[in-house]
Chain A
């Protein structure tokens, strides 16, 4: 696997992180009366980004379950898995697939570890030598700074014509374009929460992650921070 592809995947995950967090920030507003909340449209994208930026100041934790579907050309059927995701401000991140084969990674207080099969047998690893995971971690953390100008330098962000609550992100980098076709980020009707993220690869493979049970600013399970 070449370095180019790593850069591509790093950016992809950067974006994935941003999208997930963006969605959860919106989810933070679910308790507000929907009629009082302005609708986010392509015309007020900048305004929406600004609102997310201000909301991020109040964010402390996120937890969410997810279902992942990997549609790969080499497989007869998609790979299905379920897992959970957690974030604790400012520098802890947890991503775990619980079924069918447990695996995951965590970044807690500057220390990274990952596991396959059993979390108790996790191994620490050098984040700097793992560019993909490093980028996920770095950029998710960077998201707390709500750096939208940086994001828009790297992706063309448009709203889908068919589904008004679906964002389509196309990489601008030619290197990234070689491997990633685009990303689709779908929100609930009122933009209040993220429903799914799809990462479409150049060869036609894609991964869909569907989020459920998102909870904000609540204490996370102990295992998230161990």
Chain B
């Protein structure tokens, strides 16, 4: 190590004679970085913070993106005193104004043919849909009382205006078997309480109408999402009459809200943090060279941003916001260099070598800590790790190679100081350590109630207006966006449909009918249809004569001739053509089919929608218990998976970071006491952070993992600096460096706490909590714990 450190002395000596070369190199790096930054484009969505790869969470997230309403814009028009007709006219008018390129298709109602045509089709195909329960229902109808009642109704209808139209239909299906098929259409209704009026989606009270728009714009495309939201808002505002309130909901609204909030936050964070850091440096250093020190973190952020852009081509806004944190971290090394050099009487390569040891140890430890984030499933966390590593390396190089040359001529202010802890005697030391221990115990106790929350919505920006709209939609139309998905997978459509049939049979036994949205009742697999038809044929093979006699007997009482229902009886033996996707699309169910069946990469997935509740989820917890292959996907389950992943990741990072830190500390100090002392700020920072979070019921999200890593990295820096000097005798300059470094870190991270975006705020506030514990512990507890030291003159 010392040999390696000598290279800094040699570098210092070399560049002392070649300063123009040094400054040219620095200028070139900065220039290249600035040129790279010219093409800066950052993504404001939360996507980088979602898992990639083939983890459960990543697969679930991909499925959630394919959910029926994930990519659609749903508009609600609510009447405030106007008629239903006016609502319908307004819906048609607004729909006509939702145009390309933002919308590829806008519907205000299902594109179904006439109800009579659907009924006629259902009459033909119902035998293919009849399951065991339906056949039992049919068997129950075969009594004189039921038949008499049905035939009387047929006669009444024949005499009504409806009878003009429906004579053939009534005679072909006098027992109303089509109603069994009709009931199955209910399983396709995704909106709670929706009814159809004049071909429009209306609420049951007639006070709301719905417009559904299909857009080619991905919810991850921030710019186009903004345009889409603007276009939709314009179309509503310009075409909505008085007495109607229009609102809409789509993933794009969330994307836009998040992006706008992030942009606002970035301008606040990136303005405030550097300004305050500069003021702090100037105030504490009281020398114009504070500006040179300030230039280090500023340049470092530019280089790190350029490095990320070079590697990833794009950069997340969250990483950019993290720039203020990087400033706070990376200024520790120039600050330490500044104060250390100020305390040296001789200004040269030897002095730089002496500084290099703690600076390098601190920087490498922080880097190693951040490296743990490379094991993350979240690309955003990996990007932050890369961003931080580049920044810390750049800062170390600037602090140890460049800055000493710039600080040449810095007036020496070396003076003796007394360590705050030991100098005031044992009672003070005991009190301090006692207080610290009590604080640690209280924090540990509170930290035990900390909860891990993997819900991405918790770290998404949802403005009040959007939240209100969400609630209003839920109240009127049910939670159609929050349903859980069950996937039935197959190598081909029929295999997937067969699987879907098994899922539906399973669900039917467990859930009320109205809670299941499934294609199975209306589009069973061909195999199921054939089974149904076989049962149908068998049933009528046994019961047809009975039915014939009942119809003749009861029909005569009402006035029907014996041959009246011959067509109906003949049709019982006719086997209909199988129901296919094409035949359903002809009947106007194309939208539902497209939403519920995904065919991709030679596999087919058929979705079933069910309530996203723990009870429903528990039905699919042990897939081996069920005769089908299915995947249960829901926001709640996704949150659970993410919560578990966060917890496991957190443990993994803590273990990796602890091992790395202890290893570095061992290599550096080779002394258990010193190692333990250096770890005091880490332990204090983390416990204060977790304890306060537990006490205030703040939940631990994936941004808090980064916060933990930050707290560990920064705290160990402070610990190393303090232990290095405490063990060698307390120096006011070190204390000042630690304090100022801590303060600037606090500012850099505290700036994130000014953010409105929940993710940044959460990151900022938790790091702030951690550093509020780490800094005082480094300044006061380490000296107290280490014990009396030799006071250096």
A positions within 8 Å CB-CB of B: 1-3, 5-6, 9, 13, 68, 70, 72-77, 79, 81, 95, 97, 100-101, 103-105, 110-111, 114, 116, 124-133, 205, 207
Contacts and interface: CB of A to CB of B under 8 A. Distances in A.
Nearest to A124: B197
Contacts of A95: 161
B169 interface: yes
Contacts of B160: 97, 101, 103-104, 116
28 contacts: A1-B120, A1-B168, A6-B114, A13-B164, A68-B159, A70-B159, A73-B561, A74-B560, A74-B565, A75-B561, A76-B560, A81-B159, A100-B159, A101-B156, A103-B156, A103-B160, A103-B161, A103-B162, A111-B85, A116-B157, A116-B160, A126-B198, A126-B199, A127-B198, A129-B113, A129-B114, A205-B167, A207-B164
A104 B158 contact: no
A116 B158 contact: no
B116 A126 contact: no
Contacts of A128: 198-199
Nearest to A116: B160
Nearest to B160: A103
B166 A1 contact: yes
Given A9-B164, A79-B155, A128-B198, 9 more contacts: A1-B166, A2-B120, A70-B158, A75-B155, A75-B560, A101-B159, A103-B160, A130-B114, A132-B164
Contacts of A129: 112-115, 199
A207 B165 CA distance: 12
A70 B168 contact: no
Contacts of A105: 161
A73 B168 CA distance: 12
A116 B153 CA distance: 11
A101 to B, nearest CB: 4
Contact of B559 (A6, A77, A110, A124): A77
Interface string B181-203: 00000000000000011110000
A36 B196 CA distance: 55
Contacts of A133: 161, 165
B237 interface: no
Nearest to B566: A74
A104 B161 contact: yes
B164 A97 contact: no
B70 interface: no
Nearest to A72: B158
Given A116-B160, A124-B198, A76 B116 contact: no
A97 B199 contact: no
Instruction: Output the residue of B165, B169, B199 with the most chain A CB within 10 A.
Output: B165
A124 B115 CA distance: 13
Contacts of A205: 167
Interface in B556-611: 559-561, 563-565
Contact of A9 (B113, B165, B198): B165
Contacts of B157: 116
Contacts, number: 96
Contacts of A5: 168
A72 B114 CA distance: 26
A79 B159 CA distance: 6
A130 B162 CA distance: 10
Contacts of A207: 164
B91 to A, nearest CB: 14
A127 B166 CA distance: 16
A74 B170 CA distance: 12
B120 to A, nearest CB: 5
A177 B560 CA distance: 27
A123 B85 CA distance: 14
Instruction: Output the residue of B112, B157, B161, B166 with the most chain A CB within 10 A.
Output: B161
A68 B158 CA distance: 12
Task: Identify the 8 closest CB pairs spanning chains A and B, nearest first.
Answer: A103-B160, A74-B564, A126-B198, A101-B156, A79-B159, A126-B199, A132-B165, A129-B114
A203 to B, nearest CB: 10
Nearest to B196: A126
Given A72-B167, A74-B561, A77-B559, A116 B162 contact: yes
A101 B155 CA distance: 10
A74 B171 contact: yes
B564 A1 contact: no
Instruction: Output the residue of B85, B114, B163 with the most chain A CB within 10 A.
Output: B114
A129 B160 CA distance: 19
Interface in B530-565: 559-561, 563-565
A18 B162 CA distance: 20
B117 interface: yes
A5 to B, nearest CB: 7
Interface in B634-691: none
A105 B160 CA distance: 10
A128 B113 CA distance: 9
Nearest to B109: A126
B5 to A, nearest CB: 85
Contacts of B112: 129
Instruction: Output the residue of B163, B197, B563 with the most chain A CB within 10 A.
Output: B163
A131 B114 contact: yes
Contacts of A81: 159
Contacts of B563: 74
Interface in B139-183: 155-169, 171
A189 B372 CA distance: 104
B258 to A, nearest CB: 40
Contact of B115 (A76, A103, A130): A130
Contacts of B564: 74-75
A1 B171 CA distance: 11
Given A74-B564, A101-B159, A6 B198 contact: no
Interface in B82-139: 85, 112-117, 120
A166 B563 CA distance: 34
A95 B161 CA distance: 8
A66 to B, nearest CB: 12
Contacts of B199: 126, 128-129
A97 B159 contact: yes
B510 to A, nearest CB: 34
Nearest to A205: B167
Contacts of B171: 74
Contacts of A97: 159-161
Nearest to A105: B161
Contacts of A104: 160-161
Given A101-B156, A130-B115, A1 B161 contact: no
B470 to A, nearest CB: 30
A124 B67 CA distance: 33
B159 A76 contact: no
Given A1-B169, A3-B117, A130-B114, A75 B559 contact: yes
Given A97-B160, A100-B159, A130 B116 contact: yes
Contacts of B167: 72, 205
A61 to B, nearest CB: 21
Contacts of B164: 9, 13, 132, 207
Instruction: Output the residue of A1, A74, A131 with the most chain B CB within 10 A.
Output: A74
Contacts of A100: 156, 159
Contacts of A131: 114, 116
A158 to B, nearest CB: 25
A12 B563 CA distance: 27
A128 B196 CA distance: 13
B500 to A, nearest CB: 30
A5 B167 CA distance: 11
Interface string B399-433: 00000000000000000000000000000000000
Contact of A76 (B113, B196, B561): B561
A130 B113 CA distance: 9
Contacts of B158: 70, 72, 75, 79
A153 B331 CA distance: 92
Contacts of A2: 120
